[in-house]
């Protein structure tokens, strides 16, 4: 029988009256990149720390590679790799020494140089940890998470606080892990990260799972499909488009309308209707729904501001 990488059943974690994790259940199959998506404080880190045997659940069950997190901590720890949020290590150990230190903790003989090369840190292998940039530290964190050749990797906000270039470097490393057949449990509040990397996404909000599926399934099911943006356009365009049975929003500040497209009215019909009324516009842009929209639609809240700002 094929044991799933992770199985969670009715998991609850309470702090007093607050349910940080509120009766969640899900399964992660081996070899998947599984994204746990939600804003800060949604319960992602609490869940992942229960799976890493660092916290005790209030109730429910969780299994990693068939081992019970409440009873088999030592067995689980031998088989998983963890990149904690904001990975930190000993300031005055070098990159290579840090990998060797953690390998020794697992009793593993590791080719440190191979791991250094895997995360593209060869030119920094003798640099002290304290002298690495945020992105390099995270890449070292990924290498450290691999010292025991784990079957399951938990990557908690692996790119939080990184600049776009560093983020893409870490993404490349994570893609490489999937190619090696590793199961990756990724927690993130960056929708783009989940969208780009994940095979399966779970959206968690205030401790509860609000949606589960592939990114495409979620966007199709909960996104508002594509929408058309017309810039430098007069407000008089709004009733014209609404008259076509379309949902439309007008941004007074930017002077633009956003039209949610449906299967019945295409772009050409809209443009034609505006031309008939002699309403002109500056630019035209076609946008696609994303997990951000999915989250907004499901919870009424925005998931992430930082990615958009970048």
Partner 1 sequence: MNRVLVDLLASLRLYFRNRTTLFWSIAFPCILIILFGAIFSYSTTSYDLYVQNMDVENGQATPVSMLLIEALNVTRAFSIKPVEASVNATQYAIDNKLSALLVIPEGFQNETLAANFTHGVVSSQLTLIYDQSSTTGLTTLSIVRGVVNEFDLQFSSRPHYIVTQPQTIAPGRFSFIDFFVPGVVGIGAMTLSIFGAVEINTRYRENGILHKIATTPLTRIEWIVSKTIFRILMSFFSMGIIIIVGVLVFGVKVMVDPVSALMVAACSMLFSGIGMILSRFVRDADAADSAANAVTFPMMVLSGSFFPLEMMPPFIRSIATVLPLTYVNNGLRDAMIYGNQLSAAYDTALIVALGVVVLIVGSFITKWEED
Which of 84, 135, 158, 207 binds partner 1 (CB under 8 A)? It is 84
**Residue-level length of the chain:** 310
Residue range at the interface with partner 1 (CB under 8 A); choices 18-26, 105-113, 223-231, 297-305: 105-113
Q: How many residues bind partner 1 (CB under 8 A)?
A: 29
The Cβ of residue 228 has, within 10 Å, a number of other Cβ atoms equal to 21
Contact call for residues 220 and 209 (beta carbons, < 8 A): no
Q: Which C-beta is closer to partner 1: that of 65 or that of 303?
A: 65
Q: Which of 275, 276, 270, 269 is nearest to 257 (CA)?
A: 270
Closest of 187, 141, 152 to residue 48, by C-alpha: 187
Among 18, 40, 86, 306, binds partner 1 (CB under 8 A): 86
Q: Which segments of 119-185 does DSSP mark as H helices, in order?
A: 134-145, 164-179
The CA angle 301-304-308, to the nearest 5 degrees, is 120
3-class secondary structure, 44: helix
Smallest gap, in angstroms, from Cβ of residue 176 to partner 1?
21
- Least separation, in Å, of the C-beta of 299 and partner 1? 27
Nearest distance from C-beta of residue 147 to partner 1, angstroms: 9
Cβ proximity to partner 1: between 177 and 230 the closer is 177
- Retrieve residue 35's tokens: 């994204």
Q: Which is nearer to partner 1, 42 or 230 (by Cβ)?
A: 42
Burial label for 81, CB within 10 Å (0-12, 13-18, 19+), is buried
Helix pair 291-299, 215-222: axis angle to 10 deg: 50
Among 10, 59, 88, 272, binds partner 1 (CB under 8 A): 88
Residue in 23, 25, 31, 55 binding partner 1, rule: CB under 8 A: 55
Q: Is 53 in the site for partner 1 (CB under 8 A)?
A: yes
Q: Does 41 bind partner 1 (CB under 8 A)?
A: no
Binding residue for partner 1 (CB under 8 A) from 22, 68, 97, 234? 97
Pick the piece of the chain touching partner 1 (CB under 8 A) from 20-28, 71-79, 113-121, 231-239: 71-79
What six digits make up the tokens of 21? 């994790």
Q: Which residues bind partner 1 (CB under 8 A)?
A: 49, 52-56, 74, 77-78, 80, 82, 84-93, 97, 101-102, 104-107, 144
């Amino acid at each position: 029988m094929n044991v799933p990488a992770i199985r969670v059943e009715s998991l609850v974690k309470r702090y007093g009256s607050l349910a940080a994790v509120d009766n969640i259940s899900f399964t992660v199959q081996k070899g998947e990149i599984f994204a746990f998506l939600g804003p800060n404080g949604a319960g992602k880190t609490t869940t992942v720390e229960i799976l890493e045997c660092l916290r005790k659940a209030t109730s429910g069950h969780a299994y990693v590679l068939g081992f019970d997190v409440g009873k088999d901590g030592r067995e689980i720890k031998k088989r998983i790799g963890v990149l904690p949020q904001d990975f930190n290590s000993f300031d005055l150990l070098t990159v290579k020494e840090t990998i060797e230190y953690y390998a020794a903790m697992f009793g593993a003989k590791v080719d440190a140089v191979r791991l250094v090369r895997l995360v593209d840190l060869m030119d920094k292998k003798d640099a002290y940890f304290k002298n690495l940039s945020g992105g390099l530290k995270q890449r070292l964190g990924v290498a450290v998470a691999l010292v025991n050749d784990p079957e399951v990797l938990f990557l908690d906000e692996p790119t939080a606080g990184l600049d776009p270039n560093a983020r893409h470097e870490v993404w490349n490393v994570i893609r490489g892990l999937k190619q090696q057949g590793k199961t990756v449990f990724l927690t993130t509040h960056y929708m783009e990260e989940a969208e780009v990397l994940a095979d399966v996404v779970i959206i968690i909000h205030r401790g509860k799972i609000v949606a589960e599926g592939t990114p495409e399934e979620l966007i199709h099911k909960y996104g508002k499909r594509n929408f058309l943006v017309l810039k430098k356009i007069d407000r008089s365009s709004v009733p014209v488009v609404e008259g076509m049975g379309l949902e439309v929003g007008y941004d007074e500040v930017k002077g633009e309308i956003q039209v949610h497209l449906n299967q019945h009215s295409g772009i050409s019909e809209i443009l034609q209707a505006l031309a008939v009324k002699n309403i002109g516009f500056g630019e035209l842009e076609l946008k696609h729904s994303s997990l951000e929209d999915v989250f907004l639609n499901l919870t009424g809240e925005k998931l992430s501001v930082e990615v958009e700002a970048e």
